[in-house]
Amino acid sequence: MRIAFLMAPEGVEEIELTEPWKAVLTAGWNPQLVSTKAGRIRAYHHLEKAGTYPVDHVLAGDTADAFDALVLPGGVANPDALRLNERAVAFTRSFFEAGKPVAAICHAPWTLVEADVVRGRTLTSWPSLATDIRNAGGTWVDEEVHVCREALATLVTSRKPGDLNAFCGTFVKEFGAG
Protein backbone atom coordinates (compact mmCIF):
# COMPACT_ATOMS: atom_id res chain seq x y z
CA MET A 1 0.00 0.00 0.00
CA ARG A 2 1.16 3.50 -0.80
CA ILE A 3 0.35 5.87 2.08
CA ALA A 4 0.45 9.67 1.66
CA PHE A 5 1.64 11.73 4.64
CA LEU A 6 0.49 15.29 3.90
CA MET A 7 2.50 18.09 5.52
CA ALA A 8 3.21 21.77 5.15
CA PRO A 9 6.85 22.76 4.63
CA GLU A 10 7.13 23.66 8.30
CA GLY A 11 5.34 23.01 11.58
CA VAL A 12 4.56 19.29 11.86
CA GLU A 13 4.90 17.78 15.33
CA GLU A 14 7.85 15.43 14.75
CA ILE A 15 6.64 12.45 16.77
CA GLU A 16 3.25 12.62 15.00
CA LEU A 17 5.14 12.11 11.75
CA THR A 18 7.82 9.62 12.81
CA GLU A 19 5.72 7.17 14.84
CA PRO A 20 2.97 6.72 12.20
CA TRP A 21 5.71 6.52 9.52
CA LYS A 22 7.35 3.66 11.46
CA ALA A 23 3.96 1.93 11.80
CA VAL A 24 3.45 2.10 8.03
CA LEU A 25 6.94 0.71 7.39
CA THR A 26 6.40 -2.07 9.94
CA ALA A 27 3.18 -3.00 8.13
CA GLY A 28 5.26 -3.43 4.96
CA TRP A 29 3.72 -0.45 3.21
CA ASN A 30 5.24 2.48 1.33
CA PRO A 31 4.99 5.87 3.10
CA GLN A 32 5.33 8.98 0.92
CA LEU A 33 5.92 12.47 2.30
CA VAL A 34 3.67 14.79 0.32
CA SER A 35 4.01 18.55 0.70
CA THR A 36 3.15 21.84 -0.95
CA LYS A 37 6.82 22.62 -1.72
CA ALA A 38 9.84 20.60 -2.84
CA GLY A 39 12.89 20.00 -0.68
CA ARG A 40 12.64 19.16 3.01
CA ILE A 41 9.98 19.82 5.60
CA ARG A 42 10.91 21.13 9.07
CA ALA A 43 9.48 19.25 12.04
CA TYR A 44 9.11 20.57 15.57
CA HIS A 45 9.00 19.22 19.10
CA HIS A 46 6.32 21.57 20.41
CA LEU A 47 7.90 24.98 19.68
CA GLU A 48 11.51 23.80 19.32
CA LYS A 49 12.97 22.99 15.90
CA ALA A 50 13.52 19.28 15.33
CA GLY A 51 14.55 17.22 12.29
CA THR A 52 14.04 17.80 8.61
CA TYR A 53 12.62 15.21 6.23
CA PRO A 54 12.78 14.92 2.43
CA VAL A 55 9.66 15.50 0.39
CA ASP A 56 8.81 12.60 -1.90
CA HIS A 57 5.98 14.25 -3.80
CA VAL A 58 4.93 17.88 -4.35
CA LEU A 59 1.23 18.65 -4.74
CA ALA A 60 0.22 19.95 -8.15
CA GLY A 61 -3.47 19.27 -8.66
CA ASP A 62 -3.10 15.72 -7.36
CA THR A 63 -5.92 13.51 -6.12
CA ALA A 64 -6.04 10.33 -4.08
CA ASP A 65 -5.64 8.22 -7.25
CA ALA A 66 -1.91 7.54 -6.68
CA PHE A 67 -2.34 6.54 -3.02
CA ASP A 68 -4.22 3.96 -0.96
CA ALA A 69 -4.68 6.02 2.22
CA LEU A 70 -3.83 9.36 3.85
CA VAL A 71 -2.20 10.22 7.19
CA LEU A 72 -2.44 13.77 8.51
CA PRO A 73 0.07 14.45 11.31
CA GLY A 74 -0.61 17.39 13.59
CA GLY A 75 1.29 20.15 15.25
CA VAL A 76 -0.41 23.54 15.38
CA ALA A 77 1.32 25.27 12.47
CA ASN A 78 1.19 22.31 10.05
CA PRO A 79 -2.58 21.93 9.62
CA ASP A 80 -3.09 25.68 9.94
CA ALA A 81 -0.85 26.18 6.88
CA LEU A 82 -2.41 23.25 4.99
CA ARG A 83 -5.94 24.54 5.40
CA LEU A 84 -4.91 27.76 3.65
CA ASN A 85 -3.53 25.86 0.66
CA GLU A 86 -6.18 25.02 -1.94
CA ARG A 87 -4.18 22.09 -3.35
CA ALA A 88 -3.75 20.51 0.10
CA VAL A 89 -7.45 20.93 0.90
CA ALA A 90 -8.52 19.46 -2.46
CA PHE A 91 -6.05 16.58 -2.06
CA THR A 92 -7.47 15.79 1.38
CA ARG A 93 -11.06 15.98 0.14
CA SER A 94 -10.25 13.63 -2.75
CA PHE A 95 -9.56 10.74 -0.34
CA PHE A 96 -13.07 11.04 1.07
CA GLU A 97 -14.60 11.33 -2.40
CA ALA A 98 -12.70 8.18 -3.46
CA GLY A 99 -13.73 6.28 -0.31
CA LYS A 100 -10.13 5.82 0.81
CA PRO A 101 -9.19 5.70 4.52
CA VAL A 102 -7.80 8.72 6.33
CA ALA A 103 -6.08 9.07 9.72
CA ALA A 104 -5.60 12.41 11.51
CA ILE A 105 -4.09 13.26 14.89
CA CYS A 106 -4.05 16.27 17.20
CA HIS A 107 -4.65 19.54 15.28
CA ALA A 108 -4.77 17.79 11.87
CA PRO A 109 -8.61 17.79 11.77
CA TRP A 110 -8.38 21.52 10.98
CA THR A 111 -7.50 20.40 7.45
CA LEU A 112 -10.56 18.12 7.47
CA VAL A 113 -12.77 21.01 8.59
CA GLU A 114 -11.47 23.15 5.72
CA ALA A 115 -12.03 20.29 3.26
CA ASP A 116 -15.67 20.14 4.45
CA VAL A 117 -15.54 16.41 5.22
CA VAL A 118 -16.47 16.29 8.91
CA ARG A 119 -20.22 16.95 8.52
CA GLY A 120 -22.12 13.95 9.87
CA ARG A 121 -18.96 12.32 11.25
CA THR A 122 -17.77 11.65 14.77
CA LEU A 123 -14.12 12.33 15.53
CA THR A 124 -11.64 13.32 18.19
CA SER A 125 -8.76 15.80 18.14
CA TRP A 126 -6.81 18.11 20.37
CA PRO A 127 -9.56 19.55 22.62
CA SER A 128 -9.26 23.13 21.30
CA LEU A 129 -10.66 21.96 17.93
CA ALA A 130 -13.95 20.71 19.42
CA THR A 131 -15.89 23.89 18.57
CA ASP A 132 -14.46 24.00 15.02
CA ILE A 133 -15.53 20.39 14.45
CA ARG A 134 -19.03 21.02 15.82
CA ASN A 135 -19.38 24.21 13.74
CA ALA A 136 -18.44 22.17 10.65
CA GLY A 137 -21.27 19.70 11.36
CA GLY A 138 -19.26 16.98 13.08
CA THR A 139 -19.54 15.43 16.52
CA TRP A 140 -16.48 15.76 18.76
CA VAL A 141 -15.64 13.08 21.34
CA ASP A 142 -12.85 12.97 23.91
CA GLU A 143 -11.35 9.53 23.20
CA GLU A 144 -7.83 8.16 22.78
CA VAL A 145 -8.71 7.05 19.26
CA HIS A 146 -11.98 7.05 17.37
CA VAL A 147 -12.92 5.21 14.18
CA CYS A 148 -15.74 6.72 12.13
CA ARG A 149 -17.39 4.63 9.45
CA GLU A 150 -20.41 6.94 9.14
CA ALA A 151 -19.76 7.68 5.47
CA LEU A 152 -17.95 6.15 2.50
CA ALA A 153 -14.36 6.68 3.77
CA THR A 154 -13.12 5.37 7.11
CA LEU A 155 -11.70 8.11 9.33
CA VAL A 156 -9.38 7.33 12.27
CA THR A 157 -8.66 10.22 14.64
CA SER A 158 -6.69 10.71 17.83
CA ARG A 159 -6.09 13.54 20.31
CA LYS A 160 -2.36 13.91 21.05
CA PRO A 161 1.12 12.38 21.02
CA GLY A 162 0.28 10.41 24.16
CA ASP A 163 -2.30 8.50 22.09
CA LEU A 164 0.13 7.48 19.33
CA ASN A 165 0.29 3.78 20.21
CA ALA A 166 -3.49 3.44 19.96
CA PHE A 167 -3.63 5.71 16.90
CA CYS A 168 -0.97 3.82 14.95
CA GLY A 169 -2.32 0.38 15.84
CA THR A 170 -5.84 1.38 14.90
CA PHE A 171 -5.11 3.09 11.59
CA VAL A 172 -2.85 0.22 10.46
CA LYS A 173 -5.66 -2.24 11.23
CA GLU A 174 -8.27 -0.09 9.47
CA PHE A 175 -6.09 0.64 6.44
CA GLY A 176 -5.29 -3.07 6.13
CA ALA A 177 -8.97 -4.01 6.32
CA GLY A 178 -9.82 -1.72 3.41
Q: Which whole number is the average pLDDT over 140-149?
A: 97
On whether the CB atoms of residues 72 and 118 are closer than 8 A, the answer is no
Residue 178 has pLDDT above 80, yes or no: no
Residue 72 has pLDDT above 70, yes or no: yes
Domain extent at residue 82: 2-177
Number of domains in the chain: 1
- pLDDT above 70 covers a percentage of the chain that reads 99
Beta strands in the chain (DSSP E): 2-7, 10-13, 30-35, 40-45, 48-54, 57-58, 69-72, 102-105, 122-123, 139-140, 145-148, 155-158
Residue 151 has pLDDT above 80, yes or no: no
- How far apart, in whole angstroms, are the C-alpha atoms of residue 139 and residue 123? 6
Q: Which whole number is the average pLDDT over 135-161?
A: 95
- Residues 6 or more apart in contact with residue 149 via CB below 8 angstroms: none
User: pLDDT tens-digit profile of 98-108?
Assistant: 999 999 999 99
CATH number at residue 63: 3.40.50.880
User: pLDDT tens-digit profile of 83-98?
Assistant: 999 999 999 999 999 9
Task: List residues with catalytic annotation.
Answer: 107
